[in-house]
Structure 1
Amino acid sequence: MMFFEEVNESEEILKALKDDLLVTDRDGRIIYVSDITKALYGVEGQKIIGASVYELEKQGVFTPIVTPLVLKKKERVNVIQTTNKGRKLLITGVPVFDGKGEVHRVASYSHDITEMVNMKHFLSEMQDEMERVRNELEILRNQQMKNTGFVGSSYEMKKCLSVAKQVAEVDVNVLILGESGVGKTHLAKLIHRESERKDKPFIEVNCGAIPESLFESEFFGYEAGSFTSANKKGKLGLAELAEGGTLFLDEIGELSLPLQVKVLRFIQDKQFYRVGGTKPRSVDFRLIAATNQPLEQLVKEKKFREDLYFRLNVVPIRIPPLRERTTDILPLIDHFVNEFASKYKRSRILDDAVKQQLFKQPWPGNIRELINLIERLVVVSTSEIITIKDLPETYYLTYGQDFIHKEKTLPEIIEQVEKEVLQEAKNKYKTTVRMSKNLGISQPTVVRKLNKYKIN
C-alpha cells in the first residue's frame, strides 16, 4: 500500500517536480520513491518499494541512512550519503508526525553534490600546492636576501648604511650611486629587507640588459595576441610583479630617452597599460633606482631627462669605491676566503704577503672584482696556504715584489703598510678626528701612531 495512494493529485505534483524523494515508515520500510531514484541509486524505483533502508545499506546501495537519525532527533536532519555508483548526495530527512505527536513517516530528498565534493577536493589540493609554492618562494626569497650584509667598518660605509636604514622606514624614492661592483644591488636589497615591504616581492629590473625593442613588453607586460610571437594568454610585466613590494631599477642611466618618458609617467602615476591593452592597471610599489652613470652630467648633455632625474633623486646614497675605504679590504678578504672555503669544502688561508699585495690594489672592479679573485684563488690553489705564487700576474706590484726580494719580516711589512695607510689618511682627511673615524681606531691611537712614524 502506498502512502500517497489516497492523494493522487499530490503524487502527480511530486512527480512533476522531477526531484528525488523517498518516504519510509517508522520501521525504515520504503513506501514511496520517485522515478529519479533509479538514476541516483542504479535500481528500478518500483523494486525497492517495501524494502528496508537498513537492508539496502547493508547491500551497499547507499550509506549512511537518514531514517534512524530523524526518528531519534524528531527533527530535520542532513547527512552526506554515498551511493553504490560513487555519487555524493546531500540527504535531508524530514519527520512527518501523526496525531499523537509521534514520527509516523520519514520523508527524505536529496541533491547530487558529487561535482561540488570533487571541486572541494580539487580546491583543497590546489591550496596545498599553492602553500607549497608559497613556501618555496619564501625560501628562495630568503636565500636571495640573506647575503645582503656589508662587511667592513670604515666611516664611509657606516655613514652609507646609516642613511640606508633610515630611508628604509619610509616609502621615499632612493637613488643609489656608485661605480660598477660596489654593491648597489646589495644595498637595495638591504633597504627592502629593513622596510615594511620585506614580506613582499623584490623585483630587480636591469635597464641596461633588456633590449630597447623588448623593454616595454618585459616591463609592462602584454595582452594576448598583441603581437605575432606573443604568448596566447598574455604576460605579466615586471612592474606588475612588484605589487606591494620594491621595484629596483638597476642601471637606470642606460634607458633611452623615449623609454625614460614612459618610465617617468609610470613612476608618477603608478599606473600603466600593457602592450596592446586599453585598460589602465595600477600597482603599489616602493621605488629604488641605481646607476654608475653621472646622471647630472647626462642631464646637462640632454641624454637624461631632468624631470626623471629629480623624480629619482629624492634621497641619493653614494656607495664609495673600495679604494676610498681601504680599511675594509682586509676584513672583506677574510670574509670571502671563509665563505668560498666553506662553499667548496676546502681549507684555505691567505699568506700575509698575499693580503698586503691585495691591500695595495686599486680594485677598479671594486668588491665584485675582489670576490671573483678570492673565489679563483680558493678553487685553483693546490695547498692550504695561498701564496704570492698563486696570484694572477696582473696582481703583482713593484712594491709587492720588493717585500719578497728584500726578505722583510712580517712585522716590518705590517709596519710599512701601516705607515703608508696613515700617510694616505693624513693627506686625505687632514685632522686626526676624521682619520680615526675613517680608520676605525680611536683618535689617541691615531696621534700615537703618527708620532711613531713621524708623520706631520
Structure 2
Amino acid sequence: MRMSKAEESEEILNALKDDLLVTDKNGQILRVSEETKALYGIEEREIVGASVYDLERQGVFTPIVTPLVLKKKDRVNIIQTTNKGRKLLITGVPVFDEEGEVYRIASYSHDITEMVNMKHFLAEMQDEMERVKNEIEVLRNQQMKNTGFVGNSYEMKKCLSVAKQVAEVDVNVLILGESGVGKTHLAKLIHRESGRCNKPFIEVNCGAIPESLFESEFFGYEAGSFTSANKKGKLGLAELAEGGTLFLDEIGELSLPLQVKVLRFIQEKQFYRVGGTKPRTVDFRLIAATNQPLEQLVQEKKFREDLYFRLNVVPIRIPPLRERTTDILPLLDHFVEQFSKKYNRSRLLDDAVKQQLFKQPWPGNIRELINLIERLVVVSTSEIITMNDLPESYYLPYGQALELEEKTLPEILEGVEREVLQKAKTQYRTTVEMAKYLGVSQPTIVRKLSKYKIK
C-alpha cells in the first residue's frame, strides 16, 4: 500500500529520531515528531494545537525560541531546559511566505544534558586542580618544620597536654602569647595530631596583608575582577584550606570591617570570591593566634565581641620564656645541635655562655633564642662557643641588676626591654629591620616603641 506524501513525510521525520516542532507565527504548534513527544513526556493530542507560550508558563520547557526567530527573522540557537531537567540545544529556523514574512517556525533540538554536566564537572575539576596547585605552592613556601617543642617545665607540659587533647576534635582554638613564644608551631602541632593531618595547613598572617588586599588574598577573585587581576582569577587562602586547618595568625591586627567578613565566613564556612556571584563552601578546622589582649580590645571597641567569643572556644596560653626558665638550658642545647647538623659544623656552648644566656630576659622569647644560636653556630670559628662570640648586647649584667636594684621583676624586665629597643633603634633604620634582628613582628616593635616613647 502506497503512502500519501504527507504520510511519507511524517515517516521520514520520525525515522530521523530527532526532535522537530513546527509552529505558526503566533506560537501555535502545528506538527511534532515522535521524539518531541517522548522528550517532553506529552501525548501528541496535548501538544499539537497548544501554544508554546502556554507550555512555557506550565514549565514544560523554557525559554522558547519562536519569539526570538520572529524578532531576528533568522536562525537562532538557544539552550532550553525541559520539565524533566534535560538540557537541549534548540535551533529555530524561520520559514518565509511569498511576501517575505515569517509564517512558520521550525525548530529541532539535540540533547546536550551530558555535555553540560561534563562542562560543569570539568570546571569544578579545573578549580580543584588550581586549588591543589596553589596549595602545593603555599606548602612548599611554608614547609612545616617538625622541630616540635622542647619543654620540661610544668607550664609548658600543661600547655602541650591541652593542645594534644583539643587536637582530636574540630573545636576552634585561640592561641595566646607574646611574639616569639611559638604560637605557629603549636598550631602546626595541633594540626599534626588531628584527623586532618593529611590535609593542608594554611597559615594567614592577618597583620602582614594590607587591608586593601586582604579580601582578594583571603577569599580569592574571579577573572577580570579588577584591572591588575590575573586573567584566570585566583584562589584565596581560605579555599586552599579545604579539608585541613586554617590558621589565622595575628588575628588581633584585623580592622573592624574585615572582622565582620571573617566572622561571617567562620560562622557559615561559605564565601564569595571578589567579583564572584557563586557561593563557595569550605570545610576547615579553625585555629587563631594573637599576642594582643583581645578582652581589652573588646572593651575598647577595637575588636568585635561576637568574633572574640567565636574564636575563644578553647584558649591556650603559651607562657613567655622568662616564666619557664627551666626550659632555657634544654632549648640552648637543642638548637645548638640542630644548627650544627644543618650547617655541618660541630659546635658546643661553653658553660660560661650558658650561664650568661640563662640570665637573659629574652624579650623576643624562643624566636630570639633560635636566631641567636643560629648566628653563633654560623659565625663562631672554634668548636666551643665562648663569651667572645656573644654579641655585645648579651654582655649586659642582668644578674647584678636583679641584686642591686629594689624593683619588681616586671619593672626590671621592662627596663631591659627599653634598653634593648633603644640600642636597636640606633643600629637599624627601620622597624622592619629591628623586628628581624630582635626576632619579633614589626607591629610588636611599633607598639613597644610607642609604649616606651622611643623616637
Q: TM-score range by the shorter chain?
A: 0.5 to 0.7
How far residue 180 of structure 1 moved from its aligned partner, in angstroms, is: 0.2
* Native 8 Å contact 1:323 1:363 kept in 2: yes
Q: Which amino acid in the other structure matches residue 382 of structure 2? A: S
Identity %: 91
Does the residue aligned with 1:145 lie in a helix, a strand or coil? coil
Q: Which residue of 1 aligns with 2:382?
A: 383
Q: Which residue of 1 aligns with 2:197?
A: 198
* Native 8 Å contact 1:180 1:365 kept in 2: yes
Q: Which residue of 2 aligns with 1:333?
A: 332
* Native 8 Å contact 2:180 2:366 kept in 1: yes
Q: Which amino acid in the other structure matches residue 234 of structure 2? A: K
How far residue 364 of structure 1 moved from its aligned partner, in angstroms, is: 0.2
Q: Which residue of 2 aligns with 1:181?
A: 180
Matches of residues 148-297 of structure 1 in structure 2 within 5 Å?
148-297=147-296
Question: In structure 1, what is the Cα distance between the partners aligned to 2:367 and 2:138?
Answer: 25
Question: In structure 1, what is the Cα distance between the partners aligned to 2:219 and 2:328?
Answer: 41
Question: In structure 2, what is the Cα distance between the partners aligned to 1:364 and 1:400?
Answer: 16
* Native 8 Å contact 2:360 2:398 kept in 1: no
**Against the structure 1 CA distance between its residues 140 and 285, is the aligned structure 2 distance closer, same or farther, given a 3 Å change threshold?**
closer
How far residue 144 of structure 1 moved from its aligned partner, in angstroms, is: 2.8
Does the residue aligned with 1:209 lie in a helix, a strand or coil? coil
Q: Which amino acid in the other structure matches residue 347 of structure 1? A: S
Q: Which residue of 1 aligns with 2:349?
A: 350
Question: In structure 2, what is the Cα distance between the partners aligned to 1:390 and 1:368?
Answer: 19
Matches of residues 315-334 of structure 1 in structure 2 within 5 Å?
315-334=314-333
Question: In structure 1, what is the Cα distance between the partners aligned to 2:387 and 2:395?
Answer: 8
Deviations 1:58-103 (A, max 9, x none): xxxxxxxxxxxxxxxxxxxxxxxxxxxxxxxxxxxxxxxxxxxxxx
How far residue 347 of structure 1 moved from its aligned partner, in angstroms, is: 1.2
Question: In structure 2, what is the Cα distance between the partners aligned to 1:362 and 1:216?
Answer: 39
Tell me the TM-score normalized by structure 2.
Answer: 0.57
Does the residue aligned with 1:175 lie in a helix, a strand or coil? strand
Q: Which residue of 1 aligns with 2:311?
A: 312
Deviations 1:313-336 (A, max 9, x none): 000000000000000000000000
How far residue 252 of structure 1 moved from its aligned partner, in angstroms, is: 0.2
Q: Which amino acid in the other structure matches residue 260 of structure 1? A: Q
Worse-matched range after superposition: 339-348 or 320-329? 339-348
* Native 8 Å contact 2:359 2:398 kept in 1: no
Residues matched between the structures, number: 274
Matches of residues 382-421 of structure 1 in structure 2 within 5 Å?
382-398=381-397
Does the residue aligned with 1:149 lie in a helix, a strand or coil? coil
Question: In structure 1, what is the Cα distance between the partners aligned to 2:333 and 2:395?
Answer: 20
Q: Which residue of 2 aligns with 1:370?
A: 369
* Native 8 Å contact 2:219 2:237 kept in 1: yes
Q: Which residue of 2 aligns with 1:5?
A: none
How far residue 279 of structure 1 moved from its aligned partner, in angstroms, is: 1.0
Question: In structure 1, what is the Cα distance between the partners aligned to 2:326 and 2:261?
Answer: 43
Q: Which residue of 2 aligns with 1:428?
A: none
Deviations 1:237-280 (A, max 9, x none): 00000000000000000000000000000000000000001111
**Against the structure 1 CA distance between its residues 157 and 335, is the aligned structure 2 distance closer, same or farther, given a 3 Å change threshold?**
same
How far residue 138 of structure 1 moved from its aligned partner, in angstroms, is: 11
Q: Which residue of 2 aligns with 1:39?
A: none
Question: In structure 2, what is the Cα distance between the partners aligned to 1:369 and 1:283?
Answer: 36
Root mean square deviation, CA, Å: 2.7
Matches of residues 56-71 of structure 1 in structure 2 within 5 Å?
none
Question: In structure 1, what is the Cα distance between the partners aligned to 2:365 and 2:195?
Answer: 31
**Structure 1 residue runs without a partner (length 5+):** 1-129, 403-416, 418-423, 425-456
* Native 8 Å contact 2:180 2:364 kept in 1: yes
* Native 8 Å contact 1:223 1:276 kept in 2: yes
Does the residue aligned with 2:202 lie in a helix, a strand or coil? strand
* Native 8 Å contact 1:219 1:239 kept in 2: yes
Q: Which amino acid in the other structure matches residue 371 of structure 2? A: N
Question: In structure 1, what is the Cα distance between the partners aligned to 2:174 and 2:255?
Answer: 18
* Native 8 Å contact 1:244 1:284 kept in 2: yes
* Native 8 Å contact 1:145 1:193 kept in 2: no
How far residue 142 of structure 1 moved from its aligned partner, in angstroms, is: 12
Does the residue aligned with 2:143 lie in a helix, a strand or coil? helix
* Native 8 Å contact 2:206 2:248 kept in 1: yes
**Against the structure 1 CA distance between its residues 268 and 139, is the aligned structure 2 distance closer, same or farther, given a 3 Å change threshold?**
closer
Q: Which amino acid in the other structure matches residue 322 of structure 1? A: L
How far residue 175 of structure 1 moved from its aligned partner, in angstroms, is: 0.2
* Native 8 Å contact 2:200 2:243 kept in 1: yes
Q: Which residue of 2 aligns with 1:299?
A: 298
Question: In structure 2, what is the Cα distance between the partners aligned to 1:148 and 1:377?
Answer: 19
* Native 8 Å contact 2:139 2:200 kept in 1: no
Q: Which amino acid in the other structure matches residue 163 of structure 2? A: A
Q: Which amino acid in the other structure matches residue 169 of structure 2? A: V
How far residue 143 of structure 1 moved from its aligned partner, in angstroms, is: 8.9
How far residue 182 of structure 1 moved from its aligned partner, in angstroms, is: 0.2
Matches of residues 7-86 of structure 1 in structure 2 within 5 Å?
none
Does the residue aligned with 2:144 lie in a helix, a strand or coil? helix
How far residue 224 of structure 1 moved from its aligned partner, in angstroms, is: 0.7
Does the residue aligned with 1:144 lie in a helix, a strand or coil? coil
* Native 8 Å contact 2:224 2:230 kept in 1: yes
How far residue 145 of structure 1 moved from its aligned partner, in angstroms, is: 3.2
Question: In structure 1, what is the Cα distance between the partners aligned to 2:138 and 2:198?
Answer: 12
When Rg is computed on C-alpha atoms for both structures, the one with the higher figure is 1
* Native 8 Å contact 2:179 2:365 kept in 1: yes
Q: Which amino acid in the other structure matches residue 198 of structure 1? A: C
How far residue 382 of structure 1 moved from its aligned partner, in angstroms, is: 1.1
* Native 8 Å contact 1:248 1:287 kept in 2: yes
Does the residue aligned with 1:346 lie in a helix, a strand or coil? coil
Deviations 1:12-66 (A, max 9, x none): xxxxxxxxxxxxxxxxxxxxxxxxxxxxxxxxxxxxxxxxxxxxxxxxxxxxxxx
Question: In structure 1, what is the Cα distance between the partners aligned to 2:248 and 2:138?
Answer: 23
Question: In structure 2, what is the Cα distance between the partners aligned to 1:319 and 1:278?
Answer: 41
How far residue 397 of structure 1 moved from its aligned partner, in angstroms, is: 3.0
Question: In structure 1, what is the Cα distance between the partners aligned to 2:336 and 2:167?
Answer: 31
Matches of residues 61-140 of structure 1 in structure 2 within 5 Å?
137=136
Does the residue aligned with 1:317 lie in a helix, a strand or coil? strand
**Against the structure 1 CA distance between its residues 138 and 192, is the aligned structure 2 distance closer, same or farther, given a 3 Å change threshold?**
farther
* Native 8 Å contact 1:182 1:321 kept in 2: yes
Worse-matched range after superposition: 316-325 or 382-391? 382-391
* Native 8 Å contact 1:357 1:397 kept in 2: no
Question: In structure 2, what is the Cα distance between the partners aligned to 1:263 and 1:339?
Answer: 38
Does the residue aligned with 1:210 lie in a helix, a strand or coil? coil
